Chain A
Amino acid sequence: QLQLQESGPGLVKPSETLSLTCTVSGGSISNPNYYWGWIRQPPGKGLEWIGSIYYSGSTYYNPSLKSRVTTSVDTSKNQFSLKLSSVTAADTAVYYCGRTRGLREIGYWGQGTLVTVSS
């Protein structure tokens, strides 16, 4: 059974860079049928797609976040990562990683990790 697990600091200071890693188990991140994505959910609010990355490194980003987002993939560790720069309190959210069939539905989700932006 495929499993995804987010990891990273739960507290980030304003203006700094948020960094998260998603570790994939039970399947290969190099499977050519899937993209790997990041989605976030501010407390009490809805879902917002951040971006998706293919095992080859090809990326798609939310236009509203594109200038601050960087994603990468490490096939040797079966991991992919997110960096969001210049964070503010508005970036406080539960961050989920997920597996997407092509650029379609998100079939598998991590459990999510709360990242709070505060000094």
Chain B
Amino acid sequence: QSVLTQPPSVSAAPGQKVTISCSGSSSNIGNNDVSWYQQLPGTAPKLLIYDNNKRPSGIPDRFSGSKSGASATLGITGLQTGDEADYYCGTWDTSLSAGGVVFGGGTKLTVL
């Protein structure tokens, strides 16, 4: 069971918008920045968002991130079939039991 909670799956039609939630606690998201990763089938994860809402060079502005309290959200607009992937949130956790980098369980995005 992951420290951060994500919905197992989301779906939307091409061109539409989708959001993926990531819920945590004060020991992780509540007091640390969140990053988001995209993992296309059979490939390594790729950084999409860091520091809650910043995009690395080369990531289109269709991808956005936000954080409020102990929850974070990834938004994807103008969905494309190439966006079909697993998406993971991650952050640092300061608790004794989970201390270190923690990830959500992942959300599978299907573009119908």
Hey, which bits of chain A sit against chain B, CB under 8 A? 37, 39, 46-49, 51-52, 60-63, 96, 100-101, 103-112
Contacts and interface: CB of A to CB of B under 8 A. Distances in A.
A107 B96 contact: no
Interface residues of B, number: 26
B24 interface: no
Interface string B55-70: 0100000000000000
A48 B4 CA distance: 12
Contacts of A51: 100
B35 interface: yes
Contact of A63 (B47, B56, B99): B99
Residue of A47, A104, A107 with most chain B CB atoms under a 10 A cut-off: A47
A106 B106 contact: no
Contacts of B100: 49, 51-52, 60-63
9 contacts: A39-B101, A63-B100, A96-B44, A100-B101, A104-B92, A105-B50, A106-B35, A106-B101, A109-B44
B46 interface: yes
Smallest CB-CB A-B distances: 9 pairs = A105-B35, A49-B101, A105-B50, A109-B44, A47-B103, A46-B106, A46-B105, A112-B44, A107-B47
Contacts of B99: 60, 63
Interface of B: 2, 33, 35, 37, 43-47, 50-51, 56, 88, 90, 92, 96-106
Nearest to B97: A63
Given A46-B88, A47-B45, A106 B37 contact: yes
B92 A106 contact: no
Contact of A48 (B46, B51, B97, B103): B103
B2 A63 contact: no
A110 B45 CA distance: 9
Nearest to B88: A47
Nearest to A60: B100
